[in-house]
Chains A and B, each alone.
Chain A
Amino acid sequence: MDLISGLALGIETAITAEALLFCFLGVTVGMFIGVLPGIGPLAAVAMLLPVTYHLEPMAALIMLAGIFYGAQYGGSTASILLNLPGTSTTAVTAIDGYPMAKQGRAGVALFITTLTSFFGGCFAIVLLMSFAPALGAMALKFSSAEYFSIMLLGLIAAATMSLGNPVKGVVSVVAGLMLAMVGMDTTSGQLRYTFGILELQDGLNLVAMAMGLFGVAEILKNAGTPERDASQLQKVRMRDLVPTRKDLSQCWKPTIRGAGIGSFIGTLPGAGPTLAAFLAYALEKRVARDPSRFGRGAIEGISAPEAANNASTQAAFIPTLALGIPGDAAMAVLLGAMMIHGIQPRPEFFTEHADLFWGLVISFWVGNVMLLVLNIPLIGVWVRILTIPKRILFPAVTFFICVGVYSVNNNPFDVLMVIVFGLIGYLMNAFQYPTAPLLMGFILGPMIEQHFRRALLFSRGDLTTFIDRPISAAFLAAALILFVATLVPSLKARFAKTAAAKKTREGAGAE
């Protein structure tokens, strides 16, 4: 299917009253969740999952996707105004966004981040439209060996490219793979790690895991701490939003660079928007004529990372839809939600579900425009959301998590698992083990095992099958390069630097 007829089909499916309504609902909730510090898009999806059961897969998908990219827009608000990132992906925006707010330029910062977010998102959608079906066509020729190799690449990317100690990232991925083994082995029917518990035979519940690791763990960390001080919040009025000509001329190049980096990182399986934002920021600092301005309210410091994290979120749909391999942890949850709706993303997706794919692409455009329109005139409303106190927010979120998880199987057992994963997530955060790679490992675990076994069955036990096939060999080489690059001291120093930056930010946030 060519681009034009694809777009026509997409417009036909996505420009209906129902689709528009759910797109609106998705991006609004995403934006709302994104603004609130501490609750990420993963928690939002579980809360809205029960709402989608009665919907057509198309509407459900449009809405769930809208939450993800909507949250990217909203995340910058708390970063700029309170120096508290709404989502981890916008943490880097706080470095220059908060100083801008202190200089009385919060309105400009919010306006610029909205514009650059829009640009980054659109940039990546164009890539998605032109690139994803081609990748899908190529992937039709993939056999198990290629699938194994690309998943290995994705896992290594997820482990080593998270911030902090890469060994801990690998531990997290391996733990995820281990948890994926729980339940019945599809090949032999053998029960593994079920400990005689009936509910574990189907494996652990993804939604319960995501809610525990990213919802409850976060609440446990922040509950009972002093209420954040909202009195320092500036009033942001419409006329404060207007950037100067100098602002605009300073930020258009960084925005394009950021969108490029974000799209590239997003397309890699396993590497998410947080990394994209950090890399975009690092690049801007390096190419800037006067790097000392960074950290003191440089407009490049907010425009590049915001373009990058939004581009990355959209580009992450490329491997997710074309290969069924999630671009990052958030995509992993979306993938799980798609499976609940009976959609299995794989290379055939573009021909079998052409209407879904193009409808989704069109909904991305619609959603991004909606966010732009929602964001700028209503900026005062979003700012006020920041003043919702934890004593109202946390009980409500916990309640929605419980109902959302329960409704997946109508089984309270899954809710008990939320407690377990909440504790695990809390401990992992406390000891600085990243939790997102664990989810990646869990999602890819069953697939990577199956493809590994099948590849060796086809090759009659010959391990060279993974390097004899050129595409598979290329993926493995990329994985190896990534792995070695992590061990190279110069890169290590950069990781240490970003970790240090993270620490100072956390320190500032705790004040």
Chain B
Amino acid sequence: MSDFNRNELLAALVVVGLGAGYLIIAIGYPMGTVVRMGAGFFPVALGVLLIGLGAVLAWQSRRAEKTAVELRLRPFVMILGGILAWALLIDRIGFLPATAILVLSCALVERETTWRSALLLTAGLCAFGWLIFIVGLKIPMSALGG
């Protein structure tokens, strides 16, 4: 048991769980017959397949090499948070402020970034994006306001 890999096993069990969840929903769809297959046929087959594969991986995890999974919170929060803010705000406060929040948030992930360079980058990308996407390509986004 010395080479037992808990992370691998955990991932395999997640695969099994996802397959099971998928299967439970699939059973609710009409199966149909072999000639006229219903909407549920393929999903049921896929769900069963994924559970099986997950089981194989769980079995294999006994011999798997140890994988180290590092979780760094800062980039996750700031990059994904920046994208989330952009998606939620683009139709409410407009392209320029949403982009400013996104770019600032992503720039400040790196510890080498100074506020000065982050602000310069933000201004640059806002101006460039406005010119290319709104003025040039006429993508329907309002520059300011919803």
Q: A256 in the interface, Cβ–Cβ < 8 Å?
A: no
- B130, chain A: closest CB distance, angstroms: 11
- B141 in contact (CB, < 8 A): yes
List residues of chain B with CB within 8 A of the CB of A216.
79-80, 83
Asked if A461 and B69 make an inter-chain contact with CB atoms under 8 angstroms apart, the answer reads: no
**Contact between A402 and B67 (Cβ–Cβ < 8 Å)?**
no
The answer to whether B43 and A192 have CB atoms under 8 Å apart is yes
Tell me the complex Cα distance, A25–B60, Å: 47
Bound Cα distance A185, B31 (Å): 13
Question: With an 8 A cutoff between CB atoms, is A394 at the interface?
Answer: yes
By beta carbon, the residue of chain B nearest A407 is B139
Whether the pair A53, B137 counts as a contact (CB closer than 8 A) is yes
Within 8 A of B (CB), among A443-481: 449, 452-453, 456-457, 460-461, 463
What is the total of A-B residue contacts with beta carbons within 8 Å?
Answer: 175
Taking CB atoms, residues of chain A closer than 8 Å to B79 are 216, 219-220, 223, 394, 398
Q: B22 contacts A178, CB within 8 Å?
A: yes
Q: Is the CB of B53 within 8 A of A171?
A: yes
Determine the distance from Cα of A422 to Cα of B81 in the docked complex, in whole angstroms.
12
Query: Contact: A394 with B106, CB < 8 Å?
Result: yes
* Chain A residues within 8 Å of B83, by CB: 216, 398, 401-402, 415, 418-419, 422
Q: How many residues of B contact A (CB 8 A)?
A: 67
State whether A453 touches B37 (Cβ < 8 A): yes
Q: Is the interface of B mostly helix, strand, loop or mixed?
A: helix
Assess whether B113 is interfacial by the CB under 8 Å rule.
Answer: yes
Contact of B57 among A168, A227, A407 (CB under 8 A): A168
A197 CB within 8 Å of chain B: no
Contacts of B30 in A (CB 8 A): 188, 190
Report whether over half of chain A's contact residues are helix, strand or loop; otherwise say mixed.
Answer: helix
Contact B86 A415 (CB under 8 A): yes
Q: How close is B85's CB to chain A, nearest CB, in angstroms?
A: 10
Q: Is B135 an interface residue (CB 8 A)?
A: no
- Give the docked Cα–Cα distance between A395 and B56 (Å): 40
Determine if B102 and A171 form an interchain contact, defined as CB atoms under 8 angstroms apart: no
A171–B54 alpha-carbon span in the complex (Å): 8
Q: A187-B39, A392-B121, A410-B140 are in contact. Are A178 and B46 (CB under 8 A)?
A: yes
**In the complex, what distance in Å separates the CA atom of A168 from the CA atom of B61?**
12
A–B Cβ pairs within 8 angstroms, 23 of them: A50-B133, A50-B139, A170-B53, A171-B50, A177-B46, A223-B110, A224-B72, A224-B74, A391-B113, A392-B107, A392-B121, A394-B109, A395-B125, A396-B125, A398-B106, A412-B88, A412-B90, A419-B87, A422-B80, A431-B11, A433-B11, A453-B41, A456-B35
